[in-house]
């Protein structure tokens, strides 16, 4: 690391603040909390060379994330990842931003850590899944509201959805959907309604009795009607009746089980300052210039996940036209890199001088493409500085070169984070 670069990291005065660059790198190199030593390697390419740190920096053995995080979403990371960077690179009151908000792991974790959360996602579902957890009601209020909603009224149902649901269950879901959409149209949705909508959206489909549907794929995606029909035939299954009020209440209690009264106050304070927007990550004029201290995010990967197709049922329940949501589906490396260059340019605009980006990437196509090799040049093209690649691996051995070795290929329990910085 060039000593000249170290001074470009801001040192915060007055109370707890972020580590300096020197402290951060030294802490990563000497990290041995889980009995392993950091393996320091190198990633180099035309015009750049950055250190690669490999260790078990966060682990399934450590304290589990807060119960509020337990909302399923496709391709989401564990809360230990944003926690690692937020606690080292920001202080209380600093702004933490996720431009690909998803289920809101970074948002909720930053709020719990008394940072100011800012989030963006092009999918309007994201905000519906995130904002209620910054203003959580008590379980008693949820129970009382559920009891007051009539889910047994005669209701026209979508016959094609009977491949997922028992007719009585689908009638209940449809009644709840109509109740929420009508309340929204009249601008009468309150914090309990928002919470119920979030939980119901999360419980629509899954592979256990804790969901409204018959057995289907994991709860972070919804298969097509035709695909579900094939699953039913293969498993010789018929959708059973599910009591959706009981399921919503049970999941609510699970989400709220770890919530302390003091944390409720912290979350509401964060909500009063939070900014959650529905927009494309490369165009966020609502976020002021030089206002963000840290970005922690995971972008869409190369044609691995079809977020639009996976969320069609969730969109239906919430009255959203899934076809109108312009979610990126990038199949070519050059297209992905071009989009990320534009995103990095916007992140540079909103970051404070010296602010950092923890950009989680991964290998795709059987390990043939490591996205850090695309992300670093894209960041440099946008005028950002590349600090390091941090590989969190729960199963690795020492090696002279981490690219292509078996223990860092697809299938291992790893995260790969490109750490970037806006020059001071």
Chain segment 281-309, per-residue pLDDT in tens: 999 999 999 999 999 999 987 765 556 67
Is the same domain home to 76 and 33? Answer: yes
Residue 272 located in a structural domain: yes
Q: Which of 169-178, 231-240, 397-406 has the lowest mean pLDDT?
A: 397-406
Residue 207 located in a structural domain: yes
Is the same domain home to 339 and 291? Answer: yes
Instruction: Convert the pLDDT of each residue in 15-41 to its tens digit.
Output: 457 998 899 999 999 999 888 999 999
Instruction: Convert the pLDDT of each residue in 54-72 to its tens digit.
Output: 999 987 655 568 999 998 8
Total domain count, the chain: 2
Is the same domain home to 236 and 147? Answer: yes
User: 341 falls in which pLDDT band (50, 70, 90)?
Assistant: very high
**366: domain range?**
3-123+260-311+325-421
Residue 133 located in a structural domain: no
How far from each other are the two terminal CA atoms of the chain, in whole angstroms?
Answer: 17
Residue 228 located in a structural domain: yes
Instruction: Convert the pLDDT of each residue in 345-386 to its tens digit.
Output: 999 999 999 999 999 997 655 667 788 999 999 999 999 999
- CA gyration radius for the chain? 22
Structure tokens at 110: 């930053």
Is the same domain home to 218 and 354? Answer: no
Of 409, 373, 401, give the one whose Cα is nearest residue 389. Answer: 373
- Distance (Å, whole) CA 233 – CA 72: 26
Is the same domain home to 247 and 283? Answer: no
Is the same domain home to 199 and 247? Answer: yes
- Distance (Å, whole) CA 237 – CA 94: 51
Residue 129 located in a structural domain: no
Is the same domain home to 382 and 408? Answer: yes
Q: What is the CATH number of the domain that holds 59?
A: 3.40.50.150
Is the same domain home to 184 and 243? Answer: yes
pLDDT at 4 exceeding the cut of 50: no
- Distance (Å, whole) CA 52 – CA 272: 38
- Distance (Å, whole) CA 299 – CA 311: 17
Is the same domain home to 25 and 110? Answer: yes
């Amino acid at each position: 690391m060039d000593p000249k670069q170290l001074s470009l990291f801001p040192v915060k005065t007055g109370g707890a603040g972020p580590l300096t660059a020197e402290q951060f790198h030294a802490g990563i190199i000497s990290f041995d909390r889980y009995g392993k030593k950091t393996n320091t390697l190198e990633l180099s390419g035309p015009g750049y060379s950055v250190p690669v740190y490999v260790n078990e920096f966060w682990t399934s053995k450590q304290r589990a994330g807060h119960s509020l995080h337990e909302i399923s979403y496709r391709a989401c990371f564990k809360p230990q990842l944003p926690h690692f960077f937020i606690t080292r690179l920001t202080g209380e009151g600093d702004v933490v931003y996720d431009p690909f908000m998803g289920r809101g792991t970074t948002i909720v974790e930053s709020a719990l850590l008394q940072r100011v959360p800012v989030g963006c996602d092009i999918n309007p579902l994201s905000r519906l899944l995130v904002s209620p957890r910054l203003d959580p009601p008590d379980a008693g209020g949820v129970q009382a509201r559920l009891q007051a909603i009539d889910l047994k009224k005669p209701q026209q149902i979508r016959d094609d959805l009977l491949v997922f649901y028992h007719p009585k269950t689908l009638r209940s879901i449809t009644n709840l959907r109509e109740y929420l959409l009508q309340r929204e149209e009249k601008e009468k949705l309150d914090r309990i309604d928002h919470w119920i909508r979030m939980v119901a959206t999360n419980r629509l489909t899954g592979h256990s009795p804790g969901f409204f549907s018959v057995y289907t794929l994991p709860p972070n995606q919804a298969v097509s009607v035709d695909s579900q029909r094939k699953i039913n035939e293969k498993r010789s299954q018929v959708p059973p009746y599910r009591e959706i009020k009981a399921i919503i209440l049970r999941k609510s209690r699970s989400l709220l089980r770890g919530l302390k009264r003091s944390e409720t106050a912290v979350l509401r304070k964060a909500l009063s300052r939070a900014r959650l927007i529905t927009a494309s990550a490369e165009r966020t004029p609502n976020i002021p210039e030089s206002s963000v201290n840290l970005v922690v995010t995971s972008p869409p990967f190369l044609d691995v996940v079809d977020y639009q197709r996976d969320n069609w049922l969730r969109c239906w329940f919430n009255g959203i036209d899934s076809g109108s949501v312009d979610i990126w589906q990038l199949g070519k490396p050059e297209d992905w890199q071009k989009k990320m260059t534009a995103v990095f340019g916007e992140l540079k605009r909103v970051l404070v001088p010296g602010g950092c980006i923890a950009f989680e990437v991964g290998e795709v196509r059987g390990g043939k493409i490591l996205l850090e090799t695309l992300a670093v040049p894209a960041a440099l093209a946008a005028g950002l500085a590349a600090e390091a690649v941090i590989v969190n691996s729960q199963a690795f051995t020492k090696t002279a070169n981490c690219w292509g070795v078996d223990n860092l290929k697809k299938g291992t329990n790893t995260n790969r984070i490109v750490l970037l910085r806006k020059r001071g």
